[in-house]
Amino acid sequence: MTADAVAAVVNASLTDSPPRRTARTPGHHRIDNESRTDTFETTAVAPVSADLDPGYYERGVQARRRANVATADVPGLVDEVEHRIEKLLQRTLNLLGDTFDDPF
């Protein structure tokens, strides 16, 4: 969104009035068949068989196993970070609560 569009939305929200919407002008291209005078020829391409390496799938499975082992500790790390965030949030709330309860 452009800055003007954001300003219009914010202004509409603050004044409880819907933002003005300008109608878009239609394009100049016609898509109906009557206006087309050119023709296109299509040709079918013969399918090509790809020879896959016999170890292709096995290497993919091994890569996924390695990735699974490498990321096995991620859930524990996320839990630890969430716990630290909760402690910091509680500490911040306690500090703010002390400030608002006893201003001087």
The DSSP secondary structure of 52-81, one letter per residue, reads --TTHHHHHHHHHHHHHHHTTTHHHHHHHH
Our measurement of the distance from residue 52's CA atom to the centroid of its chain's CA atoms, rounded to an integer in Å, reads: 34
What distance in Å separates the CA atoms of residue 79 and residue 73, rounded to the nearest whole number? 10
What distance in Å separates the CA atoms of residue 60 and residue 52, rounded to the nearest whole number? 13
pLDDT confidence of residue 65 = 95
pLDDT confidence of residue 20 = 66
pLDDT confidence of residue 13 = 76
* Number of DSSP helices (H) and strands (E) in the chain, helices first: 3, 0
In order along its 104 residues, the chain shows pLDDT tens digits of 788 878 877 877 778 776 666 777 766 666 655 555 566 777 888 888 878 788 888 999 999 999 999 999 999 999 999 999 999 999 999 988 876 655 55
Domain ranges of the chain: 73-104
Prediction pTM value: 0.38
What distance in Å separates the CA atoms of residue 55 and residue 72, rounded to the nearest whole number? 26
Please give the span between the terminal C-alpha atoms of the chain, in angstroms, as a whole number: 46
Residues recorded for the chain: 104
